[in-house]
Structure 1
Amino acid sequence: MAFVRTTSSGTSHASPGELYRDLPRRPGAVPGLWAHQSEMLKTFTSHANKPDVALELPTGTGKTLTGLLIAEWTRRRRRARVIYACPTQQLARQVAVAAYREGIDTAVLVGRHTEWPDPAHTAYEAADAIAVTTYSSIFNSRPRLAAADLILFDDAHAGEQYVGEAYSVDIGRWRCPFEYTTVLEAIAPALDGVFLERLRDEQPDPSIGNDVRLVVPLRQPGMVNKLDGALRSFSAPHSYRYAMIRAGLASCLVYVAYSGILIRPYLPPTHQNHLFSGARQRVYLSATLGEGGELERAFGRAGILRLEQPDESTAPRYGRRFFVFPEFVEGADPAGLSRAVVAEAGKALILAPRTEIAMADASALAQPGWPVWGIDQVAEGMGAFARLDHGVCGLAARYDGLDLPGDACRAVALDGVPDQDNLQERFLQSRARAGAALASRVRTRVIQGAGRCTRGPGDTAIVLVLSADLSRYLTRPEVVAALDSELQAELRFGRENSQVATDRDVLSNVRAFLHQDTDESWRTQAEPALTDYRHEMPQHMPDGTAALSSCVEEEIQAWAAATIGAWGDASRHAHEVARLAGTGGSATAGYRAYWLYLEAVWADQAAEQTNDAGGRAAAQGLVQRAEQVMGLGSWVRQMAPLPAMQRSALSAVDAVAVNTVATALSAGVNQGKVRRRLGEMHDGLDQRDPSKYEPALTQLGELVGATASKPPTAGRCDSMWCWGNELWLALEAKSDHEPTGVVPHKDIRQANDQLRLLATDRGVDTAPTDSATILISPKPGIHDDGIKGAECHVHLIAPSTMAEVAFDVGSAWEELLTKSADRTVPELRRLVGDTFTARGVLPSQIHERLTHDPVAAKGA
Structure 2
Amino acid sequence: MNLLSKLSSSTKAKTIEPREIFMTLPSKAPGYGYPRDVQSEVWKKWFDIRNEKNVILKMNTGSGKTVVGLIMLQSCLNEEKGPAIYVVPDNYLVKQVIDEAKRLGISATEDKDDYSYSNSKAILVTSIQTIVNGYSYFGMREGGNYPIGSIIIDDVHACMDKIISQFMIKIDAESDAYKELIAIFSSSLKDYNPKNYIDIVEMKDCRKKMLVPYWEWQRQQDNIYRILTKYDNSKNSAIYFGLPLIERSLKTSDCIITASAIEISPKGIDLDKISSLEEASRRIYMSATLADDSVFVSALGLNTEDMKNIITPENANDIGDRLIIFPKYVNSDISEIEIKEKIEEIAEKYNVVILVPSFSRAKFWDERGIRTATKDNIDKIVAALKSGKHVGKIIFVNRYDGIDLPGDACRMLVIDGLPPLNSIKDRYIQSVAPQSTVLLREQVQRIEQGMGRGIRSNDDECCIVLMGDELTDVLSRNRGIDYFSVATRCQYDLSKQLWDLLVSETGSKPTIDQIFELANYSLEKNAEWVATCKENLAAVKYSNEAKVDEKIVAQRKAFENAINMQWSDAANTIKSVKDKEKDKKTKGYLYQIQAEYTNKIDPALSQEVLKAGKKLNAAILSPIAGIQYQRTINTIPQAQAISTNLDAEKLGLNELLVYVDGILANLCMGSEYEKFEEALSQIGTILGFVCSRPDKETGGYGPDNLWAIDTGKYLVIECKTEATTQTIKKDYCNQLSGSVNWFKENYVYPNECVPIMIHPSKVVDEVASPDENMRVMTEKELTCFRKNLRDFYSTLCQNGNLSDVNKINELLRIYKLRKDDIVNRYTVKFERKD
**What residue is the counterpart of 1:154 in the other structure?**
154
In structure 1, which of residues 124, 137, 145 is the aligned counterpart of residue 117 of structure 2? 124
1:466-497 superposed Cα distances (whole Å, 9 cap, x missing partner): 32111222224632133224233256257656
Are 2:582 and 1:586 aligned? yes
Corresponding position: 1:408 with 2:409 = yes
Give yes or no for contact 1:710–1:717 (8 Å, CA) kept in 2: yes
Structure 2 counterparts to residues 162-181 of structure 1, below 5 A:
162-171=162-171
Q: Distance in 2 between matches of 1:76 and 1:746?
A: 59
**Which residue does the alignment assign to 2:227?**
229
Cα deviation for residue 320 of structure 1 reads 2.1
Superposed, 1:329-340 pairs within 5 Å as 329=331, 331-340=333-342
Change (3 A) 1:599 1:780: closer
> 2:557 aligns to what?
554
CA contact (8 A) 1:61 1:316 kept: yes
Q: Which amino acid aligns with 1:502?
A: T
Change (3 A) 1:582 1:527: farther
2:141 equivalent to 1:134: no
Counterparts of 2:366 and 2:661 in 1: how far apart (Å)?
Answer: 31
- Cα displacement (A) at 1:165: 0.5
Residues 211 and 254 in structure 2, CA contact (< 8 A), matched pair in contact too: no
Shift of the 351–213 alpha-carbon distance from structure 1 to 2, 3 Å rule, reads farther
Structure-1 residue corresponding to 2:797: none
TM-superposed deviation, 1:264: 0.8
CA distance in 1, matches of 2:215, 2:73: 43
Contact 1:489 1:534 in 2 (8 A): no
Q: 1:548 and 1:710, CA in 2 relative to 1: closer, same or farther beyond 3 A?
A: closer
Query: Is the aligned partner of 1:576 residue 2:573?
Result: yes
Letter in 2 for 1:572: D
Secondary structure of the corresponding residue to residue 305 of structure 1: helix
What residue ranges of structure 2 are gaps of 5+ in the alignment? 139-145, 667-678, 694-702, 707-715, 719-732, 757-834
Give distance in 2, aligned partners of 1:56 and 1:543: 11
Q: 5 Å matches for 1:674-823?
A: 705-707=633-635, 709-711=637-639, 716-717=640-641, 730=645, 745=653, 797=682, 808-809=705-706, 810=716
Q: 1:99-154: CA deviations, max 9, x gaps?
A: 11112111114xxxxxx7x6xx2222122211100000011111135111122100
What do the CA deviations read for 1:188-241 (whole angstroms, capped 9, x no partner)?
Answer: 434511122232475859xx56x6646436555436624752684483432334
2:634 maps to amino acid? A
Instruction: Give how far 1:97 is off.
Output: 0.9
Question: 1:244 maps to what in 2?
Answer: 244
Structure 1 residues 542 and 488: CA distance shift in structure 2, 3 A? farther
1:376 CA drift (Å): 1.6
Query: For the structure 1 residues 69 and 141, does the alpha-carbon distance in structure 2 shift closer, same or farther, using more than 3 Å as the test?
Result: same
**RMSD value over aligned CA atoms?**
4.7
Match of 1:600 in 2: 595
Aligned to 1:503: 512
Cα distance in 1 between the residues matched to 2:546 and 2:115: 50
Counterpart amino acid of residue 468 in structure 1? D
Give 1:259 shift.
6.5
Does the 8 A contact of 1:337 with 1:503 survive in 2? Answer: yes
8 Å CA contact 1:486–1:534 kept in 2: the answer is no
Aligned to 2:75: 73
From the superposition, tell whether residues 454 and 347 of structure 1 become closer, same or farther in structure 2 (CA, over 3 Å): same
Cα displacement string for residues 151-180 of structure 1 (whole angstroms, at most 9, x for unaligned residues): 21000122331110001123577xx68876
Query: What letter is aligned with 1:338?
Result: K
Q: Which residue of 1 aligns with 2:285?
A: 284
CA distance 1:649–1:165, shift in 2 (3 Å): same
1:354 corresponds to which residue?
A: 358
State yes or no: 1:316 paired with 2:312.
no
Which residue is 2:8 aligned to?
7
Secondary structure of 2:285's counterpart equals strand
Partners of 1:543 and 1:47 in 2: CA distance: 17
- The residue identity in structure 2 corresponding to 1:133 is T
Matched, 1:514 2:553: no
Contact 2:19 2:40 survives alignment (8 Å): yes
Indicate the residue corresponding to 2:193 in structure 1: 192
1:617 aligns with 2:545: no
Displacement of 1:413 in angstroms is 2.0
Distance 1:780 1:632, change over 3 A: same
Q: Measured at CA, do residues 481 and 204 of structure 1 come closer, stay the same or move farther in structure 2, by a change above 3 Å?
A: same
Change (3 A) 1:351 1:559: farther
Amino acid at match of 2:227: G
Give the CA deviation at 1:543: 14
* Pairwise CA distance, 1:598: 3.1
Specify the code of the residue in structure 1 equivalent to 2:94: A
Q: Distance in 1 between matches of 2:222 and 2:108?
A: 44
Alignment check: 8 A CA contact 2:316 2:538 kept: no
Q: Deviations over 1:342-369 (max 9, x none)?
A: 4414333232333443x32451599xxx
Q: Per-residue CA shift, 1:790-845, capped at 9, x if unaligned?
A: xxxx999568999996864435796585598899979989xx9xx99xxxxxxxxx
One-letter identity of the residue aligned with 2:195: V
User: Of the candidates 615, 619, 626, which is equivalent to residue 647 of structure 1?
Assistant: 626
Give the structure 1 partner of residue 40 of structure 2.
Answer: 38
- Mapped to 2, the partners of 1:73 and 1:542 lie a distance apart of 26
**1:51 and 2:71 matched:** no
1:314 and 1:506 map into 2 onto residues whose CA distance is 27
Change in CA separation of 1:156 and 1:542 when aligned onto 2, cut-off 3 Å: closer
The 8 Å contact of residues 139 and 166 in structure 1, kept in 2 or not, is answered as yes
TM-superposed CA distance for 1:260, in Å, is: 4.9
Q: Give the partner amino acid of 1:469.
A: E
Query: Compared with structure 1, are the counterparts of its residues 352 and 304 closer, same or farther at alpha carbon in structure 2 (3 Å cutoff)?
Result: farther
Q: Name the amino acid aligned to 1:193.
A: P
* Conserved? CA contact 2:135–2:241, under 8 Å: no
Which residue of the partner structure matches residue 794 of structure 2?
none
- The answer on 1:635 being equivalent to 2:638 is no
| Structure 1 residues 101 and 192, CA gap change in structure 2 (3 angstroms) | same
Instruction: Give the direction of change, closer, same or farther, for the CA distance of 1:824–1:509 in structure 2 (3 Å limit).
Output: closer
Corresponding residue of 1:216: 214
1-side partners of 2:434 and 2:517: how far apart?
41
CA offset at residue 436 of structure 1? 1.9
Q: Deviations over 1:702-757 (max 9, x none)?
A: xx55346535xxxx456x9xxxxxxxx8589xxxxxxxxxx9728959x9xxxxxx
Q: Say whether residues 1:87 and 2:111 are aligned partners.
A: no
Q: Distance in 2 between matches of 1:823 and 1:556?
A: 41
Q: Displacement, 1:452? A: 0.3
State how far apart, in whole Å, the 1-side matches of 2:546 and 2:59 are.
Answer: 24
Partners of 2:467 and 2:655 in 1: how far apart?
Answer: 24
Cα contact 1:404–1:453 (8 A) shared by 2: yes
Q: Distance in 2 between matches of 1:362 and 1:748?
A: 28
CA distance 1:818–1:399, change in 2 (3 Å):
closer
For the 8 Å contact 1:143–1:275, the answer to whether it is kept is: no
For 1:539 and 1:50, locate their aligned partners in 2 and report how far apart those are by CA, in whole Å.
21
Change (3 A) 1:141 1:814: closer
Contact 1:493 1:530 in 2 (8 A): no
Opposite residue 76 of structure 2, the aligned amino acid is: T
1:406 Cα deviation from its structure 2 partner:
0.5
Match 2:366 to one of 363, 366, 374: 363
Task: Give the whole-Å Cα distance in 1 for the aligned partners of 2:196 and 2:38.
Answer: 55
- For the 8 Å contact 1:61–1:456, the answer to whether it is kept is yes
Secondary structure (helix, strand or coil) at the match of 1:407 reads helix
- Give SS of 1:622's match: helix
Secondary structure of the residue that 2:283 maps to in structure 1? strand
The alpha-carbon deviation at position 265 of structure 1 amounts to 0.3
Rate the CA distance shift 1:823–1:106 in 2: closer, same or farther, 3 A: closer
C-alpha deviation, 1:440, in angstroms: 3.4
> What is the one-letter code of the residue matched to 2:618?
G
Contact 1:350 1:361 in 2 (8 A): no
Report the AA paired with residue 270 of structure 1: L
8 Å contact from structure 2 (residues 321, 534) kept in 1: no
TM-score normalised to structure 1 length: 0.68
| CA drift at 1:407 | 0.7
| Corresponding residue SS for 1:322 | strand
Which SS does the other structure have where 1:50 is aligned? coil
